[in-house]
Amino acid sequence: MAESFSIREARADDVPGILACLAAAFEPYRPSYTEAAFADTVLDPATLHERLAMMTILVAVDETGRIVGTIGYRLMDEGARGHVRGMAVLPEWKGSGLAAALMSAVEEALRRKACARMTLNSVAPLQRAIAFYERRGFRPTGNERDFFGMRLVEYAMALQSPARR
């Protein structure tokens, strides 16, 4: 595995790499997902293009230019909150610090936009991801909803402004 990576905003020509990353990251969880929930998680070219139009998508690329991680976010509540969606890291990059770097990049971007809060949603099969989010300071909000037949739990974290950190 390459040890270095860089993070940048995704471009339209990154779609195949993002889709490959999502598919590889979530394939081990496929049996725990409903078919519709899995499809909404790993996306297809059309749904990824829609997400690119409504969210900021970041990609992590290794030394060869291969996409090894991705994360998306958008502003909500008139900019008071940033919502994260679609975080994925290739299986061979788990435990490398890549997920933390992706999340830190989003946190910094949201702080620069003066967001006071950051949210994300997760499902029970993603226990490793949930533990990661909780170590970073995310806590369940009590908001839950149906996600194509699965229980989707919202997590939130307060963001300190750059001046107060």
Assess if residue 163 is contained within a domain.
Answer: no
pLDDT tens readout for residues 16-42: 999 999 999 999 999 999 999 999 999
Residue linked to tokens 């059309």: 46
11: in domain: yes
Question: Is 147 within the bounds of a domain?
Answer: no
Q: Is residue 108 part of a domain?
A: yes
Looking at the structure of the chain, the number of domains it has is: 1
Reported as a single tens digit per residue, the pLDDT across 39-91 is: 999 999 999 999 999 999 999 999 999 999 999 999 999 989 999 999 999 99
Q: What is the CATH number of the domain that holds 96?
A: 3.40.630.30
Does 146 reside within a domain? no
What's the pTM value of the predicted model, to 2 decimals? 0.93
The whole domain housing 56 covers 5-116
With respect to residue 73, please indicate whether it lies within any of the assigned structural domains. Answer: yes
